[in-house]
Amino acid sequence: MKRLMMSLCMSAFAATTALAQDMVTYTTDQSFDDVVFGLENAIIGEGLVIDATSHVGDMLERTKADVGSDVTIFVKADVYSFCSAQVSRKVMEADPMNIVFCPYDIFVAVSPDKPDQTMIGYRSFPEGPMKEVEALLDQIARTAIGQ
């Protein structure tokens, strides 16, 4: 039983690590604010509505002492959540369990290690219908930074 639990824990860790690496990112020398402005306009330009903006960087900085840390993870970091009724319907008609991926998120972040670079990115999706969502996110992210 002990070996089974150890094996399950190791498998869960490997899955978490793999998921964390399954993302697409772009780096630019544009300011955080310029990339955010570009992202907001790119989302709206696709006829989509931003459902939420999570200020992850602010939260991590605000709470670092509360959790016993002194590490600044991001200079700035926000996550933008939105959905496309048309694309979401298409991928969920193909497989209703694609609901797990909705809403879609794009992050913008600046690392303290590279304060002159802004990163924009999103998680990658599994093969199949969700690749259409990934293509949409890629188009939006590239538009946001002028690519």
Q: 98-142 pLDDT, tens per residue?
A: 999 999 999 999 999 999 999 999 999 999 999 999 999 999 999
Tokens of 98: 């694609």
CATH number for the domain spanning 118: value is 3.30.310.70
Q: 20 pLDDT exceeds 90?
A: no
- The reported pTM is 0.83
69 domain residue, yes or no? yes
Residue 28 lies in a domain: yes
pLDDT-based confidence at residue 6 (cuts at 50, 70, 90): very low
Q: Which of 21-25, 31-35, 103-107 has the lowest mean pLDDT?
A: 21-25
Query: Which pair of structure tokens corresponds to residue 129?
Result: 């219908």
Residue/partner pairs of 94-99 with CB below 8 Å, 24 or more apart: 94/128, 94/129, 95/128, 95/129, 98/129, 98/130
| Residue 16 maps to a domain | no
Q: Which of 16-20, 51-55, 117-121 has the lowest mean pLDDT?
A: 16-20
- Residue 87 falls within a domain, yes or no? yes
Instruction: Say what the pLDDT of residue 133 is.
Output: 96
Domain-located, residue 10: no
In this structure, is residue 29 part of a structural domain? yes
pLDDT at position 18 over 70: no
> Is position 11 within any domain?
no
- Please check whether residue 74 lies inside any domain of the structure: yes
Q: Which residue type occupies 63?
A: T
Domain count, the chain: 1
pLDDT bin (cut points 50, 70, 90) of residue 21 is low
Q: What is the mean pLDDT of the chain?
A: 89
Characterize the bridge pairing of strands 104-110 and 76-83. Answer: antiparallel
Domain that holds residue 120: 23-144
Q: Check whether 13 has a pLDDT greater than 50.
A: no
